[in-house]
Amino acid sequence: MKKALLTLSALALCMAAGSALAKEYKELRFGVDPSYAPFESKAADGSLVGFDIDLGNAICAELKVKCKWVESDFDGMIPGLKANKFDGVISSMTVTPAREKVIDFSDELFSGPTSFVFKKGSGLTEDTASLKGKTVGYEQGTIQEAYAKAVLDKAGVKTQAYQNQDQVYADLVSGRLDASIQDMLQAELGFLKSPQGANYEVSKPVDSPLLPSKTAIGIAKGNKELKELLNKGIKALHEDGTYAAIQKKHFGDLNLYSGK
């Protein structure tokens, strides 16, 4: 009997330990690079705005947790996750095989192609042959960086890395760059609609396996509990119409969700 009681006590202790290990999230810290309108940027008053910001806040509201946004350059996102500076990344982060080796991802947030931006009448296109000898800028840590190094550099295109997208556009407008490469919707609805982007155009989508379109929330490797929690929130936004309302607010009748 004594042995049985000890066994039960040990079982109770194990169950208690298991409960203690299960983290109860009261706050979710999301890493964000606010230089990528209309997905994430800063309003005149310094507040964070954009499609990703609204989605993140809506997910937190659905899960009844507080949202805390932590600003970081994009190339610091994965190191930030590993260092526990934030719980997840909501910053137009595309799902790639290379990233999946070091971090996990939630279900899809949205999908979108990549394109170049250059001056109207420049004669440039998405064809690398037209870009040979030209200088193309990109944001560090992005899938466009991987494409630039693997494809553009080898095709005789000069490439230049920048810490954030604002810096890319600044050098494009100043004439230091002939073109930039980034998310197509970001270019069309962010840069081209701004006063500085009036004389620029967007190329056709760039077709390459190095440029996948699915975007999701980046999560530390092995954090299954948070992944399930975030997926629950994303699913609820689709079911109750919140996702559709946020999408319409930022993109009108465009559908960014592939459902994959």
* Domain harbouring 163, CATH code: 3.40.190.10
Q: Which helix (H) or strand (E) holds 88?
A: strand 88-89
Residue 193 lies in a domain: yes
The number of folded domains in the chain is: 2
How many Cβ atoms are within 10 Å of 237's Cβ, its own excluded? 20
Q: Are residues 61 and 131 both part of a single domain?
A: no
- In the chain, pLDDT over 70 holds for what percent of residues? 91
Question: CA distances (Å), 183 to each of 143, 146, 205, in order?
Answer: 9, 14, 9
Residue 142 lies in a domain: yes
Check pLDDT > 90 for residue 146. Answer: yes
Check pLDDT > 60 for residue 95. Answer: yes
**In this structure, what token pair is assigned to residue 71?**
């600003």
Q: Which helix (H) or strand (E) holds 225?
A: helix 224-239
Domain that holds residue 160: 114-202
Q: What is the pLDDT of residue 41?
A: 96
Q: Are residues 185 and 222 both part of a single domain?
A: no
What is the pLDDT averaged over residues 33-43?
Answer: 95
What is the pLDDT averaged over residues 80-84?
Answer: 96
Q: Are residues 101 and 121 both part of a single domain?
A: no
**In this structure, what token pair is assigned to residue 93?**
């982060």
Residue 114 CB burial class (10 angstroms; 0-12, 13-18, ≥19)? buried
Check pLDDT > 80 for residue 73. Answer: yes
pLDDT tens-digit map of 124-141: 999 999 999 999 999 999
CA 78 – CA 156 distance, rounded (Å): 30
Q: Which long-range contacts (CB under 8 A, 24 or more apart) does 190-196 make?
A: 190/36, 190/37, 190/38, 190/39, 190/41, 191/37, 191/117, 192/117, 196/169
Residues 6 or more apart in contact with residue 227 via CB below 8 angstroms: 104, 105, 106, 219
- Taking the whole predicted model, whether its pTM rises above 0.85 is answered as no
Q: What is the pLDDT of residue 24?
A: 82
What is the pLDDT averaged over residues 81-104?
Answer: 96
